[in-house]
Every structure is written in C-alpha cells, then in structure tokens.
Structure 1
C-alpha cells in the first residue's frame, strides 16, 4: 500500500545511492518512503525528518525551518534528536525492533535508512479484520513486543510512542516496534502550548509538568494498546482521567476486567488494568515485572495497588540501575529496576511454555476478533509495506471491516471500464486533470510546472503550456469552454485561452502555494486557495481579486462552486468543511467536522449533496440545504484524495492513495467498480460530461483514460 503527501520527494529522486519509489506513510514529524538501493540492489525504507508545523519544502528536496525564531529553534532541536535516535537504533539487532541501517544528513534535514519489511500495522490489521484480538493473538503480538521494549529499556532508552500504529506485523505475523517518539518528546519540551502526545496511549507523565518518565511510561502505552485490542476502543485520555481523580470523580476509563471477562483470562485483564494505573508508582516498574505477572498462572499472586483517589502524582525513585554490555552514544533517560532474584527463574520457564503453545497456534489459526471461531490455517493478511504513519491525536478511526476492493477490474456487470489511453510527458508526478466541456480535450498539471493539453480521443499531446515555476496542483476548464486555468505551488494562477492554447492573464501574490482551483458556473469568476488559509475569488473580466474569504485555521486543499453558483465549498487540513456565499464576504456555514484532513470535495450535479473525502479513508455525504451529514461511505482501503460525481448524480468516482479508482453507488454505498489507477497514489480524477470517460492523474507522472461501457 502506498500513501500520499503533498510535500513528499518525487518518484525517482536520487538520495545518494537510494532511488525513491513510493511514499509508505507520514506523520507530524516525518515522511517514510520505499526506496531502491542501487548499490546492493535491495529495497529499503527511508524516514525523512519533516515536521510539518515547523518546516517547509523549498524545492524538490530541500527542507528548511519556517522563518520564525521559535520554529527554527524547535526544528533544529528535533533534528538533533532524530539523528541521536538513528545512531542509537543502529546498534540494535533485535527481531522485534525496527532495524536501522544508517542515517544521512543532507537537504537541510536527516534521513533514517531502515530494513524494508512487508506487512501492516496492528492498527491496520484491526481496521481490516475486526476491532478486537482473541487472547492467543494478543499473546502472539505482545509477548514479543514486550521483549523488544525490555531490550530498549536495558539500553537506557525509552520508546515514548507505543500504540497500534507503531506495532508493525510482518508478512509472517511477527511483530516489531517502529517509530520511536524521542523526537516528538524533545520538541514538546519547547512547546508547552501543545501536547505532542497520542491521546489515549500517552500516560499522564508525558504531559507537561506531570511527572518523571521511565519504563513505566512505555508500560502504560503497552497496556493502552492491549486495552484497544481487547475492547475495540481507544482508552480515555490520561489527562482527563487525572483531572477526574484530582476532583474526586470516578475514573472515566472503564476497567478492562469488566469489558473482557467473558473472553480473556483474569490474569491478562488484571495486568492490563495494572499497566493503566494513572499514577506511575502504581504501575509495574519494569517490563520484567509486567511479563512475570502476565505469564503467571497461580491464583494467589494478586498484586497490590494504591487506590485511585490518591492525590499526588509524584514518582518515588526506588529503582536500581541496570548495567548493560551495549555501549550507547545517547545519555541515559531512565533506570530500570530488576525483578527480585528469587522470581527470575519463573519467566524463562513460563515463556518457553507459552512459546511452545503459541508456536503451534501460530500455524494453526489466524488472528481473529475475540469470541470468533478459528479459521483455516494462514497468517495475518498483510500485503502493505512498512508505513510509519502517526494517527492524529484526536482521530479515532472506526475499526469496522470495509468492503474489500478487488485487485483487478471486475469483469461482471454493465459499465466495465476499459483502459483507452495512457498519457505520458510530465515529470515528478501528475497532480491535476480536467476535461473540457465537450470532452474533446484533457488538461493535466504536473510536478514539472507545466500544463499539458491532450486530445482525449487519440491521446496525442496538443500543446505544453509553460510559465509556472513550480508544480501545478490544479487545472480547470471554464464551463463554456473558453478558458483554461491553472494554480501552482509558485503562488500564481494563470489563465489560458482554451481554444488557441495561449496565455491570457496571470494573478500573483495570492498568499503562497496554491492547491485548489474552481470556475464559477457563469464563467466570470475563478476561486483559488492553498497554504494562506484564505480563498481568493478572481474576476476574469477585470483581472482583479473580487473577494477574499477567511475562516479556515489551516491549509485549504479543496474547493468547489455549487452548480447554481451561489456557494463555494472549501475544506482542508483543519478538518472542517465550510460553505460560503460566493458573492460577498461573511461568515461561512460549517457543514461538518471530520476526524481527519479533508482532501477532496464534489457537489452532486443537482447541488443537493456535497461529497467529502478524508485521509482516514472515509467519504461523507452532506445535504447542502440543511448542512446535515446523512451518509458515510467506507469502500476505500486508503486515504481518499480525489472525488468526482458521474453526470447521473448517483455514482461517485473516488481516487485513493493506494492507487485504486473506485466507482461507488452513493445511495446504497455499494462498491460498483474498482480498477488500477497507476503505480502510485491517485492524485486526481475527472469525468467527461457524457459520463463515458474517466481521467485519472497519478503521482507516477502518467494520466490514464478509462472508458465506461
């Protein structure tokens, strides 16, 4: 599975001996790529330090902090810790810890080169196969992960970001830890106005001024991850729990003992609740202590903990330092307390017993939700390569199993798509496609800064339009076929004569990089938006800005005029969809608040519905008259990056980051068709006015024209 990031290095970019092939995942602090090692002829995964809030891409590869003293300070603090983490992890050769091969410092940033593994994150597994694990699957995943965490702690390191997204399951089912959180934590110390933690998995001491971090910090996150696998729900925010206890209210986190008593053994549930104690001193103080309790079968070994109404969060330093033969260049972040010597013999014997039983179960069953019957022998279904994405702290993806899209074009039924043309010529990606009003021409915008116009029937290039200095992110034909417009990362909008294919006008100083563009139905206005968080409505006749609409708190990725021209819909990184009066400035109606970034918008032909596509794989239909979300569609297996209605208003064409194009029935939610959109993420889709042709732009720099029959 591939992902998408608007600032990612382009396909084919050469980073020393590594050729970038695809984006695997991304988060708030970095982008992870699949790359080819040209020297060793192997595939690797490369994580680039790229904190989105602190830095920006200056050209194809260079990264620089944003031009404020605070951003520059925080950027370099994080960069220093990223390199330190890479150096430390390079010493590890543990089967349950991601293997770091080397690191690079170039382009104003740093890169961590890792072994490439095929598989999927535990979070993806839960989303695809059901929200829970049974007890045998829980042991198969978390016992090895505990061994990995223990090795990290014995090297005087902490992970600090354990969660299902950072537990990676290889194709053979063996788990490993990825994406250590030291960089995030280093920056958080200089940003007291923000909690750079993953809510639900981070314990109270990871919040500012709430206590000392140590092995018990990772143990809480492990318990929270197990809680998610047992209950199917993310645990309650630790800060909310802490504040409830301080005010003598009931802990809002329901004990896992009650939630899982019918499907899990008491000692497993008891251990999870123990790990999730709010105060650090009430949790296991070492992984060994937690392992011993988890594996113990005797009923007389009940632990003793303080009551939940204790009002102090002070950590008592009663741990002993453990020496290790591994030499580390990083300073110690915590001491580790060993279990009493008389208990040490219990763990090896118990672990061997569980491993023997687990080894048999490994080959005889598949991970399944709690209470479900075992299936035929197989391992976890996992075809996606390693992706170190970080789920937004406030986002919780519903873990219901989506409809599975076929890997090839479905052969049955009407409307079977046929590949008619493949248009090649752009470099560094194709980011925008549009049909002319009569469907005779197709315009494409590329990462090479050009707009190309093609004959849609023959697939021949009519002309290459030059003038932009950076990638073209959006193109649009006017509804009367007279004009063609383009918007670019260089911050400009260009207007071209669509018949003569000649330049007509240009608007600059629109506030920075632009990502979206739309013509009004009367062909007199042009709306554009991007990084500046505002919408500029341009008058085509006077060549002047006619209106500026402000209200979004982050970048705007998508724009659309309603079919009657009265409204402009916009959406973006702030996860909101807004509906503006297109003729006068004023407050916008907020139609919905999404759980992830909104990347795509499309009005139905009658204007009644507005479809939105988000990075958490969800399509939502909003009734524009009432502003009510009436339907949620989940046919996609990856981020939704592009949307376009078919002329009948009953079907929606969807482009996703895992290179698929879907045709969805908007009334039933049924997946009607799924076909290949190219080698990488589908960046844009367009439908001809007669509904017969679908144009698909792809980050692999090609545009594919499909015909529906």
Structure 2
C-alpha cells in the first residue's frame, strides 16, 4: 500500500502551519503537478460483458428483512462489541440486526413513509430513525445486554427528514429537513431545544463540529450556515452571492476538519469549496480559501471526508472524528470519481474510479483507507496515498446505496452460503468489516481481506 515510498512524508497535526491562498487552491485536476494515478490492474475489465460473467458473492452475512430498497445503514459506535447494525429503507421500517449472522434484533416501526436516515447516539445507548413522513423516532437499549431495545419517543416538527446527526458528546439529536429548517431535541425527554431557520431550500447536510461547540448545515439553495447550537443564532453564513463560493445547483455534502477550523462542501454540479471558520471565535469572519475543480461538470459530489495519510499506531472501536489531521480530503461523486486532495497546495493527489455513480464514501478511522459504494453494484476500498485499490466486494445485484465500516471482530462465515452457516473465531482479526445497503432490498456484510 505504498508505505515505503511515503515513509518520509511528514505528518501535520490539526492543520498547524496550513496556509491556503487563492493561487494555490483555484486549480483543476488536469492542472495538478501530481498527476492522478491509475487504478491497479485488478479492475473489473469485463464488467460490461454480462454473458461471460458469473455472479460473485463475497459476503459473509446478509440481512434480508427489508425486501425493498435499503437506503441507509450505520454501525454501533462500539462495533464490533456489540456487532450491531441499523438500517432503514423503502419499506417504511428500520431494523437493528446482528452483523455476525444477519439475525433480527429489533424492528423499528412507526413510520408511514421511507426511512432515509438512521443514527446511533455517541454512546450507542439510543438509536434514531428519520423518515420522509417527517417523523423522527428514538429507541433506547433496555437492560444489561444489547438484544433488547424499547421505544422511547416520537419527535415531530420537520416536513421530510433528510439527515440525522447526534451531538458528539451528549444526548442531543439534530435533523435537517426538506422545508429549509433544522430541528434539535434533548433526549430522553424529547423536548425541542431549537429550530434553526436561515436556509431557503432543503437542508441537504449538516454536522456538529468535532468539539461540539457549533452546528454547520448546508442547503440546495447554495448556502452554508454556522450556528450556535445553544441559542440558534447564525454565527456566519456564506451564500451563492459570493462568486468564489457559488455552487450551481446547491450543496450536497459537507465535512468538518478534526480541529473544527475548516468546512469543506461538495456541490450538486461537481465543485468543491473550502471555507475557513477558524476566526469565528475572535473576529467573527469566515472566508473561502479553496475552490477545487476535478469532478465532471453537472455531476453531484455525494461525499467529502477528511483523511489521514499517516495511519494511527492502533485501531479499535471508535466514535468521533475519523481523522487527526486537517490537510487532506477525499471527495466522491456521481461521475464515478473519488479524488484525493492536498489542501495545503489545493491540488489533486490522484483519483480512483467506479464504473457508475458513487453513492457514499466513508473513511476508515485514522488511516489512509476509504471505502466507496456505487450504482455499479460494487463496494471498493482504496488507499488515499496512492489511490490504488485495496479490495473489491461483490454480492449485490443492484446499486449499493450506502456503506458503513467497522473494525473486524475476527468472526468468519461461509461465503458460499451468503454467510448463513457455521462460523468460528479467527485470530487475529483481519482489519475491517464493511456493511452495504442494497437497492434490491438486502444488506450485506463483507470482510476486507
């Protein structure tokens, strides 16, 4: 994984010394001094020849209860102990299930339209589901084990829920809605803490800063707002009337640096913007410090994430920022491209490809690895240092709509039976497990070999 050639690359902690200028960052991939690297020779060269291809299934477990498109999936923050996933779908239901054998733990019902967002609280004691019916429903663990969950409360207010996120340090839940509002509740009481109004279009994405002190949201109206979560006051707003920030079609994705000083947004028409919020607590100003152009024009940037090029010494169950440094990101779009960017130079390090639109990108915490799901039926894992393929997972017969990554628990099962069979504890664990959500109505579990 290109360890030797990058052994002398220095690590920059928390963006110290990061200086971005307009000349540095306003570039196109084709102008990058470091040309994108090609994918390795193990790519699916015959993907278009259906007559000569045999169906391949690498999954080690499967969850079949949805029987309709599975839109979202998330793993317990202490995964793999417990080895629990939550998924939501077109069947108006969400489920908690065991990733070892695919058995049901609890059905999370009560929605009257598709469940499009699911999320565990920071400590894993609660789980929330959000639907196109405008409902947010919350369950909590009951008793000493992890196999009994009880319904806690139904939260109403939004029109259609677009996304959910929990506060990184406490039982506070936030939902973004299609009616241009953001709602925040205190749990377990379910009391509404704040309603944030400032966008004029659907609020497409949002997150707390890693320190938990600010809330950031973005909309398809092209605006980015930084909020004070306590008072719902607007601390800063950047809109499409700023020509350096303007993104045709609005904003589709965002991420926040681990030091809470940078916000990166991806646009519906392929652009990526970097915004500094480092001075909010002093001068109160924000500034656009990066314009990254590399995705195909008119293709949506579905995910952006910060990534570490120098891996941590150890891995384990993790809840919190997925990177330690604020100098590199990866973006992924419906053009099938994943692009690694160096924010200190504003240039692309390289790119990797799917044969169709990428639907989600997730970073393996504190490593250079990231995994993508795609409409091409595949899940791929890449190394951001070289953009070479680390693994390809097969098993879906339709598009993969979401993917989650967790630490491998060392439990392996019979792939020849779709994971339904005997399993044994293997030592040591092999790294990571991947869980994908399929448009054909199944969620599959894979091991990254």
* Class of the TM-score when normalised by the shorter of the 2 chains: 0.5 to 0.7
The runs of 5 or more residues in structure 2 that have no matched partner are 1-46, 66-94, 98-102, 106-144, 241-245, 280-284, 308-322, 409-430
Q: Contact 1:426/1:446 (CA < 8 Å) preserved in 2?
A: no
Q: Deviations over 1:372-412 (max 9, x none)?
A: xxxxxxxxxxxxxxxxxxxxxxxxxx743575532174148
Indicate yes or no: 2:292 matched with 1:549. yes
1:90-126 deviations in Å (ceiling 9; x for gaps): xxxxxxxxxxxxxxxxxxxxxxxxxxxxxxxxxxxxx
Partner of 1:602: 362
TM-score normalised per structure 1: 0.36
- Do the aligned partners of residues 417 and 402 (structure 1) sit closer, same or farther apart at CA in structure 2, a change above 3 Å counting? farther
How far residue 544 of structure 1 moved from its aligned partner, in angstroms, is 1.1
Task: Report if the CA contact (8 A) 2:434-2:448 is conserved.
Answer: no
Query: Going by fraction, where is strand more abundant, 1 or 2?
Result: 2
Structure 1, unpaired ranges of 5+:
1-198, 201-226, 234-397, 669-709
SS at match of 2:204: strand
Greater Rg over alpha carbons, structure? 1
- Bigger relative CO (Cα 8 Å, ≥ 6 apart): 2
Instruction: Check the 8 A contact 1:445/1:475 in 2, yes or no.
Output: yes
1:239-294 deviation line (CA, Å, top 9, x unaligned): xxxxxxxxxxxxxxxxxxxxxxxxxxxxxxxxxxxxxxxxxxxxxxxxxxxxxxxx
RMSD over aligned CA atoms reads 3.2
Aligned to 1:276: none
Residue 566 (str. 1) matches residue 327 (str. 2): yes
Aligned equivalents of 1:459, 1:597: Cα separation in 2? 38
Task: Tell me the residue number matched to 1:353.
Answer: none
CA distance 1:420–1:517, change in 2 (3 Å): farther
TM-score (norm 2): 0.55
1:667 is aligned to 448
Change (3 A) 1:466 1:602: same
Q: CA deviation at 1:470?
A: 1.3
Are residues 594 and 475 of structure 1, via their aligned partners in 2, closer, same or farther at CA, if it must alter by over 3 Å? Answer: same
Q: Distance in 2 between matches of 1:638 and 1:422?
A: 34
CA shift for structure 1 position 457: 3.9
User: Hey, what's the Cα distance between the residues in 1 that align with 2:150 and 2:407?
Assistant: 20
CA gap of 1:435–1:535, structure 2 versus 1, over 3 A, is same
Deviation at residue 445 of structure 1 after TM alignment:
1.1
Q: Indicate how the Cα distance of structure 1 residues 477 and 459 shifts in structure 2: closer, same or farther if over 3 A, else same.
A: same
The answer as to 2:199 corresponding to 1:463 is no
Q: CA deviation at 1:501?
A: 3.1
Tell me, yes or no, if the aligned pair for 1:474 and 1:515 is still in contact at 8 Å. yes
Q: Look up the SS of the partner of 1:495 in the other structure.
A: strand
Structure 1 residues 498 and 560, CA, compared in 2 at 3 Å: closer, same or farther? Answer: same
How many pairs are equivalent?
Answer: 276
The CA deviation at 1:666 is: 4.1
Change (3 A) 1:643 1:478: farther
Give the structure with the larger helix fraction: 1
- 1:347-496 paired onto structure 2 within 5 Å: 399-401=55-57, 403=59, 404-407=62-65, 409=97, 410-411=103-104, 416=147, 418=149, 420-421=151-152, 423-425=154-156, 429-496=160-227
- Do structure 1's residue 612 and structure 2's residue 349 form an aligned pair? no
Note closer, same or farther for the CA distance 1:531–1:642 as it changes in structure 2 (3 Å cut). same
Distance 1:629 1:568 in 2: 17
Counterpart residue number, 1:580: 341
Q: Deviations over 1:192-224 (max 9, x none)?
A: xxxxxxx98xxxxxxxxxxxxxxxxxxxxxxxx
Residues 416 and 593 (structure 1), Cα distance of their counterparts in 2 relative to 1, 3 Å cut: farther
Contact 1:618 1:632 in 2 (8 A): yes
Distance in 2 (alpha carbons) for counterparts of 1:466 and 1:647: 38
